[in-house]
A = this chain, B = another copy of it.
């Protein structure tokens, strides 16, 4: 018996890793006149629905996906959030 879990993966550049996309956004915001904006970091968000026997099972399956495919653990950190029964938008 398995349930469907809505899972969100948040992938961000690791501390100390260059983030050209974040830097570009920061510069563009400054050029547009926004002041007081700092530490802009750009990352990725992946949402999916996963069939698993438990929330823990869904989490460890998605963590494995992150290591294998979704994230690049050398330069990215990832965080897996599992919401039971909440449909993906």
B45-A44 in contact (CB<8A): yes
B39-A49 in contact (CB<8A): yes
B47-A40 in contact (CB<8A): yes
Q: Which residues of A contact B (CB under 8 A)?
A: 2, 4, 10-12, 15, 22, 25-26, 28-29, 32, 34-52, 61, 65, 68-70, 77, 88-89
> How many of these chains are in the complex?
2
Q: Given contacts A37-B50, A43-B45, A52-B36, is CB(A69)–CB(B28) below 8 Å?
A: yes
Nearest-CB residue, chain B, relative to A11: B45
Shortest Cβ gap from A43 to chain B (Å): 4
State which of B36, B41, B45, B50 has its C-beta within 8 Å of the C-beta of A2.
B36
Q: Given contacts A15-B89, A32-B68, is CB(A42)–CB(B46) below 8 Å?
A: yes
Which residues of chain B come closer than 8 Å to A37, judged between CB atoms? 48-51, 65
